[in-house]
Structure formats: structure tokens, C-alpha cells
Chains A and B, each alone.
Chain A
Amino acid sequence: MSSNLIQPHPVGAALVVGGGIGGMQAALDLTGAGIKVYLTDRGPAIGGVMSQLDKTFPTNDCAMCTMAPRLVEVGRHRDIEVLTLSEVQSVRGTPGNFTVTLGRQPRYVDETKCTGCGTCVSNCPTRNHVQPLPSAAFELEPEVRETVAAIIARHKSRQGPLMPILQEVNATLNYFPENVLRYIAQETGHPVADIYRIATFYSAFSVVPRGKYVINVCMGTTCYVRGSQRLMDKVSETLGIKEDETTPDMKFTLKSVRCIGCCGLAPALTVGNETYGKLTRQDIPDIVHKCQEAA
């Protein structure tokens, strides 16, 4: 940028876009240099992602301890004007003299009078309903969208439809691609974070692609005392993958399961819906071979 483009009389103000930890620190540094700062954030409050974290890498410092002093300082600083629920719509001008247009969403609260007591929150009839921000745009292949939409339509009228929807999608697609989760979130009105939390909570769900055959070695107590760890080692050795991994050809995924209720057959494992019981290590290659042939 050549210096002759800079306005002869630069305006002594800066706009910082994004009120996360980086934005806050930038704003504070700028004010330290004597510059007036406009700090904008799309969300209803500054703080950004760090406010959702417990600890930060690599020092494992408490996230709130790092950011709280900055939050307070930014909030109190006379030279920082915080503009939340605002998004940049256009930037015009040249270095030293920009004109920025911000689009602000309504807050329905007079910020100059609000003391932050929180009484309105606890009295709001829909207080526990998270008001999600419009989610990021995502693309979904038309066939996938159609499949998932059909599943959602089938269950939507039931009481508590989310689990049946997720179960059927998981069974149909074998795992949850990220955009499918976003789509389910959009269609069911749940925040993506909630859906993701459920999708990662249950062991039958997966957010990474799985092999055609999921081999579940039972690690229930009975199977364990009858030596299922050694079966697991053998399967792992035969397939050349560790637990929770998938073979590169996407045929097998190896997992352990907590008791399939076939204790009379211990040690046992399942491949899909097939159960194999009373196994010894010598049986493993045959089972794997059988699946390979079928596939």
C-alpha cells in the first residue's frame, strides 16, 4: 500500500470486527495507542468461543481467568464502543478514512438502562429455549437430503422425535456427516450443538465414516473373564487395525461393546446383526474371511 493513498488527515478511530479474545486484546492495545475503537460482534455479547471453554491449550490455563479481566476492561473503557448484534455490511473509503455500514439486529432492551440483573431471563416463558443464530450455510447432496427429509417426516409427529430420527439416519447412512447433523438441526429446531452432543454420546452412533461390517467384540464381564481381550487382540492383528479404527478399504470397523447379553456363549462377538459365540482365537480368521467373501 503506497503512502500517498493515505489520507492527509487520518481519522483517529478504528473498527475491530469480532469481540473474541483476539478482538478484545486488539481493541485494548489500540486504545493504549490513543485510538478510539469501535468493537463489533455478531453475537449478543462479546467474549467469543473462549467463553465456552474450560481450559486452553497448551498451558491448561483456566479460560475465564484469562478473559474476564479483558471483558471488564473493554466494558468499562471510555474509548471503546461495543456494538453487539452487529454485522459489517459494507466498507467504503481509503486507508485513514473508511466509512463502514453496520447492520444491527434488535435487542429489545435499552442497553443504557439495563443493569444486567437477569430477572427478565428467569421470567421469560421460553427462557430455556436457546435462540440459535442463523447457522452457517451448508451444502447437502440432493439424494442425501431427500433420504434424511423422508426420515424426519416419518417421525416428526411423534412425541420425542429426535432419537428415532437420529437412529434411523445412523442406520441408513452408517454415520452422521456433519452437514446431515446441521440439516437435522435446522429441520427439528434443535441447536446443532445439542444434536452433536447426542450424536457423540451414544456408542451406537458415529460421526466418522464406518466400515461396511462393524465387528463388535463383547467386553462384558463374562466374556472378559473368559478371555475376550485376547479375541480382541486377534481380530486387531488379523485386520491390522486397532480398536475404533476402520480398515482403509472401508470394509471393517473394529469396536468393543459392553455385553450383548450372550453370556452363555462367552466369549462372543457380533458382526452386524450376526452373533458368533464360544469363540477361540483360531475362529477369528474364518469369520473375517467369510465377511470378506460376502463383501
Chain B
Amino acid sequence: MSLTLAELHQKKEETIEQVRLRGNGKDLMVCCGTGCVAGGAFKLKDALDKEVAEKGLGDQVRVVATGCNGFCGQGPLAVVMPDETFYGWLKPENASTLIEEHIVKGTPVRKFMFVSPETKEPIPLLSDIPFFHKQMPVVLRNKGLIDPEKIDDYIARDGYQGLGLALTSMTPEQVIDQITRSGLRGRGGAGFPTGIKWKVCRGEKKTPKYLIGNCDEGDPGAYMDRSLLESDPHSLVEGMTIAAYAIGVAQGFVYVRTEYPLARQRLQKAIDSARALGLLGQNILSTGFAFDLEIREGSGAFVCGEETSLIHSIEGESPEPTQRPPFPAQVGLWGCPTIINNVETLANVPQIINRGAEWYAGIGTASSKGTKIFSLVGKINNTGLIEVPMGITLRDVIYEIGGGIPDKKEFKAVQTGGPSGGCIPKAFIDLPIDYESLKEVGSMMGSGGMIVMDEDTCMVDVSKFFIQFTNDESCGKCSACREGSEALLEVLTRISEGEGREGDVEFLEELGLAIKDASMCGLGQTLPNPVLSTLKYFKDEYVAHITDKNCPAKVCKPLIKYYIDPDKCPGCTLCLKACPGGAVKGSNKHVHVIDQDVCTKCGECLEVCPPKVGAIVKLSGKEARELQSLAAPVAVKEWKARRAEEKRAGVQKQ
């Protein structure tokens, strides 16, 4: 059966009606994104379901499993609608309190609310929480508000209206024109204008053509595509169908990473239910337009996010990139013209068609339009997924939305763009975020990972980490990338182990630029970015590693030593018990000593030492070299007496 547009409108009215009928009731939106699921969200939902059933509230309360809410740092979490009350850090055993107090008695439960770090007061309303306050949900407008496995929920919130509009009242050229005027650019990283790409492909004579949604989200620290598929998979299905109509495609693929089982499962369900309603398949919305979608699974190769590589992977060839041009829009999958768009780009499309290019172009900066989803992670208080308008400053993101750095540590840098991006130092905190400005400071938009680093992060170590990653993931086809990353890694490893030499910094710079010039695909062309940007802004750290053999952040193991301050050690034996290698010597009520020859620098002792004692410290550089610790454990009493003696002697001398 295929719906007509009129029937779709009718269906929307009906489903809205159903939502309204629940007017007096409540919806408990339990976040069931991967993050919360790992924290026990399904157990929480079961407990709530059971509680509702036991209290016989089935006709008043609906417990809904939604996709990712975004505030992952608070998970498992739930939002009570329509009151908009946000509850975080929930456990299954909290279910009865929540239902009893909020649903039955109607008093929101303060102890489960988000507590403002400034005022220490609970914040009842979701929209009042700073994390949500500055956000602007466009692509993620349905996050946490619908059941991603129910197509009716999506339709009730204007779902498939954009598709209806495009198919019944616009020509494919008009759709492309609309997208071009909206200023939408690729969200995968490079930022190529989407409308222009589609136009090229539409102009190709060869058929069939293919459309691929790229959800091979390989950048470490980025998970917006996964969340999108988990919370609102229909927006991708609708976006791809509109794109297919505009370009003239009958078969589409969505390439999803193997690491995202839940996203694949929800997308498959969305495809099936759209097909059942005639929103995919032979006769879409009874207009005669035909398009179908198939999911293809990745198998864990970062390079497959590169478009030519992705094509080879679907074809079943060895997934190595090939030289462009010809671009996939001309010669792509099985030699046919193919459009590959990022999942987030495609999910923007229904909104643009539905609300118009002018509305979309009104958001953002001169060259970058619309909103962008970022995953705000790392050393930050409010970890999670955020959608903000282009042009917002880093300060707003980190301090307003992110709530600053935990443990009152100092903000040092933010890393954007994954392994292809760079580190942006504190000096650029007021930088408005868009494609161009990020490029100017030596980073890039990438797919939207934003990893915040504090003073405890060593920049040499971070570059080493990224080069290790790209070195591992380099497919090995072109030597600049294969051998270049190897050489970079070798030098960085040497520096982090305290074996750095004069001239290493210059060598890294020269080699980095050469790799950029000589590599074939995006992976190689951008892999030196983490090194080059940290060299640009944190050269002193490299120099400290090389000349002083000092790791200022005290991360690089060969350059640090753990030391127990005898004046502070109460001889509690906690560190002695924790040390896996037997490097801590001591006994009850004796000042403990670390045997540096045995210590593997695992840091276990530092972790167990109570913060109010704080006897264990890390030392690096000169401090570490000139460290003179006790030869053997001494009784605390005796040590105190000795210190008092010394002090007295010192006073007498004066």
C-alpha cells in the first residue's frame, strides 16, 4: 500500500490527535542511546514499565525508549513530558520513587535533578539547564522526543512532509537549487557545497546512479552520526529519498560502521516501516517515483570513510583509495555516477525543503550556514552531543554548554577534526566556529569531534597518539603516507622517551609539510595536522621534552618519577597494597618509599592516595633527575622527630 500526500497529512493529524489525547497523561522519555544503554537504561526502562503496570497507571503514563538525548554525561537519564523535567544519573531502583512522587503525587523529585554547579541548586526544567540553553536543534530536533522505532512519532512531528513537498510540487532542479541556495555544505569534514555536488551528478548521462549515506564515522571522539541514526533514523531515510529524487537515483546505500550495532538495527527498522507505508520502494507517495535503501556494514577500517575507499569496500574490492579525478559523482560505485554524503548532511535536507532555503541560510556565518553537531568530550564537565549554530564561539561551547573543566583545572586546548584536525590553544577561545576559521588556525571542522584537554594533557603525547592512529590505519598504498607516518611516529616516540635530539622539531615540520603535499587521499593529506598544529602553538613543550627531558604535563612515562613526600605520608599502607609491581616499600605507620628501579609508573599509588593526604606526586625534568628520596622506610614518628630536630637546628643557626 502506498500513501498519497493527502493521506500522509491525514495520518499526521491523526497521530497528533493521539498525542493530544494523552493531554492529561505524561510521557517518560527514557534515553536509550548507546551511552545510556551501557549505563543500564534498558534496566531502568523495564523497572519503570513494571512500576507503571503495578500501579495501574498504564492509561496515564507512557514509558518511551528514545534515542540519544545528548547529555551523555548524565546518563542514564529520563525526561518527563510535557513537564520537561530532566532527571539524570537514574538507577532502576529509583523507578518507584520517580513514579510515586512525580506521576502520582505530581511533585517533581529534586534529588534526581541536574544540579547547577554554580548555585548548587537543582534545575527542574530541561530548557533551563545551561547545557541545553545555547543549543539550536535542527538536525536533532527530534532527539529524545520521539520513539525512533515508531514511524508515527516521526510523522506527527512533520516527518516526510519535506519529501511530500519535493515530490509533488518541485522539479528535481528546483530541489537542487533550493539546497544550493541554503548554503548547505558537507558535514563530513571537507565542507564541499552539497547542491553543487548534486548538480554535477544530475548532469551525468550514465545510468544507473547511486546514492550513499556515509556513516563510517571513524574519527575517534565523534559520534554524532551514530546518535542521529539511533534517535531519529527517519530523518536520514527522508533526506536520502529527497536527494535521490533530485539526482535521479533508484538505489541507495547506507554504509554503517560495524561498531554501531544499535544504529544499524534502528535504521533497518526505519527502512522497513517506511517501505510498508510506501515512503520507500516502487511508488513513493503514489507519485510513481521509485527509490530503495540498503544497509552495508563496515568491518573496521578508518580509511573506508574516504569516499573512493568506501566505494571499493561496498564493491568487495580491497578498500584502498584511488586517485581523484574522476570524482565519484562522475565515476563511482560500479563505474556509475555516485553521490556520497555524510549522514548529517542528508539529515539536514528535509528541514531545508520543508522550511525553505532562506530560513536555513539565515542561520550561521557568511560562508558556513546552518547548525553543526559536535560531540563535546574529554576533560569537560558536561560531556555530550550538542547542536549549535555555526559561528558560535569556543568559549560559549566550552564554558556555557560544556560547563568548564572538571576539578578546577586549567583549559589548555581543544582538538577538533579528529586525526585530521589540530589542537586549538586557549588563545583562540573567542574564535567563532566555522569551516574557514578552523582552517585558518590549522585545524578543521572534520566530522565534529571536539575533545577538550586540560593542563594534564601532554601535547607531544597527543600528537604521538594521533600519528599512531593514522600510521595504523594508513592503507599503505602511497608511500608518503605509509612511510611518512612511520617516520613521524619514530621521531615522536623518541622525543616522548627523552631521546629527542637537536633538529627534531625542524625535521617534524619539514616532513609534515612533505606528507601533506605528496599524499593521495584525505587521510595522508591531513595526517600531519595534529603534529603541525601542536608544533605551532606548543613548541615550548616539544623543546622541554628535547632539551630539558621534561614533560611539563607529566604524562610521558620515561620522563617522570613518582615520589612520596615523607612530610605528608601517614604510613597508611594503601599505596603499598595497590602497587602491582611491589615497588612501594613500607609498613604500617612508616613513611613509604618508592623503589625507582622497580616502579613501572602505572600510577596506581597516586590514584589510591586519599586527596586530603596527597603525599604522592609526579616529578619530571630537573626535579626528577635530582630527586633524593629516602633509602628505606622510616617510622612516621621517627621521621617527624628528625624533621623537628632539623628545624630547631635551622632556627638556632639563624
Distance (Å) between the CB of B602 and the closest chain A CB? Answer: 6
B231 interfacial contact with A, CB 8 Å:
no
Task: Flag A184-222 by CB within 8 Å of B: 1 or 0 each.
Answer: 000000100010011001111100000000000001111
Q: Max chain B CB contacts within 10 Å: which of A230, A266, A280? A: A266
A134 interfacial contact with B, CB 8 Å:
no
B541 interfacial contact with A, CB 8 Å:
no
Distance (Å) between the CB of A150 and the closest chain B CB? Answer: 19
B316 near A264: Cβ-Cβ < 8 Å: no
B378 near A201: Cβ-Cβ < 8 Å: no
Q: Closest residue of chain B to A256, judged by CB?
A: B472
A160 interfacial contact with B, CB 8 Å:
yes
Contact of A263 among B223, B296, B300 (CB under 8 A): B223
Report the separation of the CA atoms of residues A197 and B477 in the bound assembly, to the nearest whole angstrom. Answer: 13
Distance (Å) between the CB of A125 and the closest chain B CB? Answer: 14
A265 near B72: Cβ-Cβ < 8 Å: yes
Known: A222-B451, A259-B218, A275-B38. A266 touches B377 (CB 8 A): yes
Task: Give every chain A residue within 8 A of B301 (Cβ-Cβ).
Answer: 201-203
Task: Give every chain A residue within 8 A of B473 (Cβ-Cβ).
Answer: 258
A163 interfacial contact with B, CB 8 Å:
yes
B377 near A264: Cβ-Cβ < 8 Å: yes
B314 interfacial contact with A, CB 8 Å:
yes
A261 near B226: Cβ-Cβ < 8 Å: yes
Task: Give every chain B residue within 8 A of A201 (Cβ-Cβ).
Answer: 301, 318-319, 475
Distance (Å) between the CB of A264 and the closest chain B CB? Answer: 3
B112 interfacial contact with A, CB 8 Å:
no
Distance (Å) between the CB of B540 and the closest chain A CB? Answer: 20
Distance (Å) between the CB of B217 and the closest chain A CB? Answer: 7
A148 interfacial contact with B, CB 8 Å:
no
Distance (Å) between the CB of B483 and the closest chain A CB? Answer: 13
Task: Flag B279-310 by CB within 8 Å of A: 1 or 0 each.
Answer: 00000000000000000111111100000000
Task: Give every chain B residue within 8 A of A264 (Cβ-Cβ).
Answer: 35, 72-73, 75, 377, 383-385
Report the separation of the CA atoms of residues A198 and B318 in the bound assembly, to the nearest whole angstrom. Answer: 5
Report the separation of the CA atoms of residues A270 and B334 in the bound assembly, to the nearest whole angstrom. Answer: 35
Q: Closest residue of chain A to B71, judged by CB?
A: A264
A258 near B469: Cβ-Cβ < 8 Å: yes
Report the separation of the CA atoms of residues A266 and B259 in the bound assembly, to the nearest whole angstrom. Answer: 16
A237 interfacial contact with B, CB 8 Å:
yes
Report the separation of the CA atoms of residues A204 and B298 in the bound assembly, to the nearest whole angstrom. Answer: 9
B457 interfacial contact with A, CB 8 Å:
yes
Task: Give every chain A residue within 8 A of B35 (Cβ-Cβ).
Answer: 262, 264-265, 277
B39 near A194: Cβ-Cβ < 8 Å: no
Q: Closest residue of chain A to B419, judged by CB?
A: A221
A64 interfacial contact with B, CB 8 Å:
no
Report the separation of the CA atoms of residues A136 and B383 in the bound assembly, to the nearest whole angstrom. Answer: 55
Report the separation of the CA atoms of residues A84 and B553 in the bound assembly, to the nearest whole angstrom. Answer: 66
A225 interfacial contact with B, CB 8 Å:
yes
Task: Give every chain A residue within 8 A of B383 (Cβ-Cβ).
Answer: 263-264, 266
B219 interfacial contact with A, CB 8 Å:
yes
Distance (Å) between the CB of A20 and the closest chain B CB? Answer: 26
Q: Closest residue of chain A to B39, judged by CB?
A: A277
Report the separation of the CA atoms of residues A220 and B377 in the bound assembly, to the nearest whole angstrom. Answer: 11
B219 near A259: Cβ-Cβ < 8 Å: yes
Distance (Å) between the CB of B468 and the closest chain A CB? Answer: 9
A263 near B375: Cβ-Cβ < 8 Å: yes
B430 interfacial contact with A, CB 8 Å:
no
A221 near B226: Cβ-Cβ < 8 Å: no
Report the separation of the CA atoms of residues A220 and B220 in the bound assembly, to the nearest whole angstrom. Answer: 5
Known: A160-B315, A261-B34, A262-B35. A273 touches B261 (CB 8 A): yes
Task: Flag B376-414 by CB within 8 Å of A: 1 or 0 each.
Answer: 011100011100000000000000000000000000000
Task: Give every chain B residue within 8 A of A219 (Cβ-Cβ).
Answer: 220, 469
Within 8 A of B (CB), among A129-173: 159-164, 166-167, 170
Distance (Å) between the CB of B121 and the closest chain A CB? Answer: 24
Report the separation of the CA atoms of residues A281 and B260 in the bound assembly, to the nearest whole angstrom. Answer: 25
Report the separation of the CA atoms of residues A145 and B568 in the bound assembly, to the nearest whole angstrom. Answer: 68
Known: A163-B313, A230-B603, A258-B218. A221 touches B299 (CB 8 A): no
B552 interfacial contact with A, CB 8 Å:
no
A268 interfacial contact with B, CB 8 Å:
yes
Task: Give every chain B residue within 8 A of A265 (Cβ-Cβ).
Answer: 35, 38-39, 72, 75
Task: Give every chain B residue within 8 A of A202 (Cβ-Cβ).
Answer: 298-301, 319
B607 interfacial contact with A, CB 8 Å:
yes
B37 interfacial contact with A, CB 8 Å:
yes
Task: Give every chain B residue within 8 A of A266 (Cβ-Cβ).
Answer: 377-378, 383
A276 interfacial contact with B, CB 8 Å:
yes
Known: A220-B220, A261-B217. A230 touches B318 (CB 8 A): no
Report the separation of the CA atoms of residues A8 and B325 in the bound assembly, to the nearest whole angstrom. Answer: 71
Task: Give every chain B residue within 8 A of A203 (Cβ-Cβ).
Answer: 299-301
B614 interfacial contact with A, CB 8 Å:
no
Distance (Å) between the CB of B620 and the closest chain A CB? Answer: 18
B465 interfacial contact with A, CB 8 Å:
yes
A257 interfacial contact with B, CB 8 Å:
yes
B604 interfacial contact with A, CB 8 Å:
yes
Q: Closest residue of chain B to A255, judged by CB?
A: B300
Task: Give every chain A residue within 8 A of B38 (Cβ-Cβ).
Answer: 262, 265, 268, 274-277
Distance (Å) between the CB of B579 and the closest chain A CB? Answer: 12
A230 near B316: Cβ-Cβ < 8 Å: no
Report the separation of the CA atoms of residues A197 and B316 in the bound assembly, to the nearest whole angstrom. Answer: 11
Q: Closest residue of chain B to A163, judged by CB?
A: B316
A55 interfacial contact with B, CB 8 Å:
no
Q: Closest residue of chain A to B257, judged by CB?
A: A261
Distance (Å) between the CB of B405 and the closest chain A CB? Answer: 12
Q: Closest residue of chain A to B313, judged by CB?
A: A163
A38 interfacial contact with B, CB 8 Å:
no
Known: A163-B296, A225-B451. A261 touches B318 (CB 8 A): no
Interface residues of A (CB under 8 A from B): 159-164, 166-167, 170, 190, 194, 197-198, 201-205, 219-222, 224-226, 230, 233, 237, 257-266, 268, 273-278, 280-281
**A to B CB contacts below 8 Å, 12 in the list:** A160-B314, A162-B316, A201-B475, A203-B300, A204-B300, A221-B418, A225-B378, A261-B226, A263-B223, A264-B383, A264-B385, A275-B37
